[in-house]
Structure 1
Amino acid sequence: MGTIYTLIMLILWLILIPTLIGIIPACILPERRRSWAVTFIAGYLMSMAVFELVAIPCMLLITYSAFSTCVKIYAGLEIGLAVIGFIIGIILINKKKQEDLASGELNSITYRGIKHRLEAVFPGEQHVLAEDYMDPRGDVYGRRVRYSFEGKVLWVLFGILLLVQLYMAFFYASFDGDDAYYVVESVLAVQTDTMNTILPYTGGSTTLDIRHALAVITMWIAFIAKISGVHATILAHTLLPMFLIPFTYMIYIEIGRMLFRKDPNKLPMFMIIMAVFQLFGHTSISTTETFFLTRTWQGKSMLANVAIPLIIWLFLWIGEDLEREGRQKLSGINKLSPWILMILVNMASGIYSSMGVMLGTILIGACSLILMIRYKKLSIAFMGAATCIPNVIYLLMYLSM
């Protein structure tokens, strides 16, 4: 029963709740962008941002029972946001019923009925139909496509490579010297109800280690461990890679969809190449590939393999919208949506590593400059600067402490 409970709680807190929360920010996205994957990414980022807003004040302001207070507040906020997302999903389904003449299927519990309900909430998952191309007002851009036989075979090959990586990460977990600090921080939070006030190397009391304290990813791992009932060490080394590795590839899939929009059958080949790079990228102990497979759960690994690819994806998104601006007008909130997601990425970068604040800002500045020159829009630079406001606040806190 304990294993089943743990599995249910991990699925609930790592997949279901972020998906429901993602429905909230997905409301500002263009309909064609609102696939399940994009919604999940948005929900995950929003969860990270909420955790930062809860964990850092608890760590700085509460002397005793800081971690348990953080757990209660964060769990309550996450459940509340998930309920709001669920309600929005029901509203979207009811709206679809009113618009669809064949709404009888939306009321059934058949496969087609469930499929239509999901497409009402995640319309970006709909396949392109032949008649959609004939509709001058239709927007098939970004819809899912049906792959050729060759494309399906390539997807199977990618799936095999992914399973190999998951198998190796689960059964051959790699020991790392940083375990003595980062994993122990998570273990101490659960066992002693503290947040970064015990020195992991000796077990003695200490003041906040400013270099690591604001990067509260260890506390997030402790939260998942506490809520699921699994030991933080087992969670970090064995279970989190089962979530973070597929999540990283999900981001690469979204990048690939941007790059190969005109020839989607190249997407699975792109994913195979990325998987092979990850498998054979251990050319030193400091490559992103090495961190991806051997230190998957560490903040610096998540910065390199989650936050930075997300920034690249969002700038591809912005560039794609700018290219289409002359052909199809987007509403103001739709134009702002990738920039809003970038704010959440910056907040997540601070959670992962204090270096993420600097590296993320530099990358955003460089990409904004490129787009500003390419499209001759000074507003791009201002928008890029605005998304870095969380980084500035984080840096000021870091310097003041």
Structure 2
Amino acid sequence: MGTIYTLVILILWLLLVPTLIGIIPASILPDRRRSWAVTFIAGYLLSLAVFELVAIPCMLLITYSAFAICCRIYLGVEILLASIGLFIGVVLIRKKKQEDLASGELNSITYRGIKHRLEAVFPGEQHVLAEDYMDPRGDVYGRRVRYSLEGKILWVLFGLLVLVQLIMAFTFASFDGDDAYYVVESVLAVQTDTMNTILPYTGGSTTFDKRHGLAVITMWIAFVAKISGVHATILAHTLLPLFLIPLTYIIYIEIGRMLFRRNPNKLPMFMIIIAVFQMFGHTSISTAETFFLTRTWQGKSMLANVAIPLLLWLFLWIGEDLEREDKQNLSNINKIAPWILMILVNMASGVFSSLGVMLGGILIGACTLVLLIRYRKFSLIGMAALTFIPNVIYLLMYLSL
């Protein structure tokens, strides 16, 4: 029963809760963007941003039982956000019932009924139908298409490659020297109810280490370990890769959907190439591929394999909107939506690594310059500057400690 309980908690907290929370930021996206994958990514970003806002004040301002208080506050906020997301989802389903002539299916528990409910919440998952091409007011751009037999076979091959990676990550946990610090920080938080006040190497008291302390990914791992009842070391080495590796590939799938919008059957081949690169990228101990499969849970790995690809995806998104600006009717909130997600990515970068604040800012500046040269939209400078606000606050806090 203990194993089943742990599995249910991990699925609930690492899959269901981020999806429900993601419905909140996804509500400002145009329908074609609101797929489950985009909602899930947005939910993870918002959850990590919230954890940063809760964990850092608890760590700096509370002397005793800091971790327990942090867990209570974060748990309450996450449940509140997930409840709001669930409420929005119910509202979207009811709205769909009023608009859809086939609303009777929305009341059934058949496959079609469940499918219609999911498409009401995640309209980006809808496939293009033959009659959609005949509708002069319809916008099939960005809608999902049916893959050819070759495309389906390639997706199966990609799934097998990912399965091999997950099995290897689960059965052959890799050890490295950073375990003596990062994993122990998570273990100490659970066992001693402290947050970065004990030196992992010796077990003695220490002053606050701002370089490692402000990157609160170790505290997030400790939180998941505490609510699931799994030892933090087992969680980091064995279980978290089963969730974080697919999350990374979901991000690359969204990147591929934009790169191969005109020929989606090339998308599974793109993903196979990415998976092979990840498997054979161990040309040194410092490559992103090495960290991806052997140090999946570490902040520097998540920075390289989650945050940076997310920034590239968002700039592809912005460029795509600018390219089709005259062909689509986007509201102002739809236009700034990717920039809002970029703010959350910057906050998540600070959760992963203190260095991520600087690297993310440099990448945003470089990509903004490229878009500025291509589209001559000087408003891009202002939007990019707004995304730097979390970075500036983080940097000022870092320098003041």
1:363, 1:136 → 2: CA distance? 39
SS of residue paired to 1:77: helix
2:252, 2:298 → 1: CA distance? 19
Q: Counterpart in 2 of 1:122?
A: 122
1:45, 1:136 → 2: CA distance? 37
Q: Counterpart in 1 of 2:374?
A: 374
Task: Return the offset for 1:142.
Answer: 1.1
Query: CA offsets per residue over residues 327-361 of structure 1, 9 Å max, x none?
Result: 12310000000000000000000000001000000
Coordinate RMSD, CA, aligned:
0.5
More displaced stretch, 25-34 vs 138-147? 138-147
Q: Counterpart in 2 of 1:82?
A: 82
Structure 2-normalised TM-score?
Answer: 1.00
2:330, 2:144 → 1: CA distance? 20
Query: CA offsets per residue over residues 293-323 of structure 1, 9 Å max, x none?
Result: 0000000000000000000000000000000
Q: Counterpart in 1 of 2:337?
A: 337
1:144, 1:235 → 2: CA distance? 35
Number of residue pairs aligned between Structure 1 and Structure 2? 401
Matched, 1:9 2:9: yes
Instruction: Give runs of aligned pairs for residues 229-308 of structure 1, distance below 5 A.
Output: 229-308=229-308
2:101, 2:164 → 1: CA distance? 46
1:12, 1:299 → 2: CA distance? 22
Query: CA offsets per residue over residues 174-214 of structure 1, 9 Å max, x none?
Result: 00100000000000000000000000000001111111000
2:312, 2:292 → 1: CA distance? 18
2:191, 2:140 → 1: CA distance? 52
Q: Counterpart in 2 of 1:39?
A: 39
Q: Counterpart in 1 of 2:135?
A: 135
Instruction: Give runs of aligned pairs for residues 205-244 of structure 1, distance below 5 A.
Output: 205-244=205-244
Structure 1-normalised TM-score?
Answer: 1.00
2:135, 2:333 → 1: CA distance? 25
2:288, 2:51 → 1: CA distance? 25
SS of residue paired to 2:326: coil
More displaced stretch, 321-330 vs 50-59? 321-330
Instruction: Give runs of aligned pairs for residues 136-215 of structure 1, distance below 5 A.
Output: 136-215=136-215
More displaced stretch, 178-187 vs 203-212? 203-212
Query: CA offsets per residue over residues 120-159 of structure 1, 9 Å max, x none?
Result: 0000000100111111111111111110000000001001
1:327, 1:119 → 2: CA distance? 24
Matched-pair identity in %: 84
Query: CA offsets per residue over residues 199-254 of structure 1, 9 Å max, x none?
Result: 00000011111110000000000000000000000000000000000000000000
1:308, 1:21 → 2: CA distance? 22
SS of residue paired to 2:156: helix
Instruction: Give runs of aligned pairs for residues 50-129 of structure 1, distance below 5 A.
Output: 50-129=50-129
2:168, 2:297 → 1: CA distance? 15
2:279, 2:118 → 1: CA distance? 35
2:287, 2:133 → 1: CA distance? 44
Listed as ranges, the gaps of 5+ residues in structure 1 are none
Give the residue type in structure 1 aligned to 2:253.
Answer: I
Give the residue type in structure 1 aligned to 2:251.
Answer: I
SS of residue paired to 1:283: coil
Query: CA offsets per residue over residues 75-99 of structure 1, 9 Å max, x none?
Result: 0000010000000000000000000
1:137, 1:319 → 2: CA distance? 23
2:32, 2:343 → 1: CA distance? 22
Task: Return the offset for 1:381.
Answer: 1.4
2:155, 2:328 → 1: CA distance? 32
SS of residue paired to 1:336: helix
Instruction: Give runs of aligned pairs for residues 345-364 of structure 1, distance below 5 A.
Output: 345-364=345-364
SS of residue paired to 1:265: helix
Give the residue type in structure 1 aligned to 2:134.
Answer: M
Give the residue type in structure 2 aligned to 1:223.
Answer: F
Listed as ranges, the gaps of 5+ residues in structure 2 are none
1:123, 1:185 → 2: CA distance? 42
1:278, 1:101 → 2: CA distance? 47
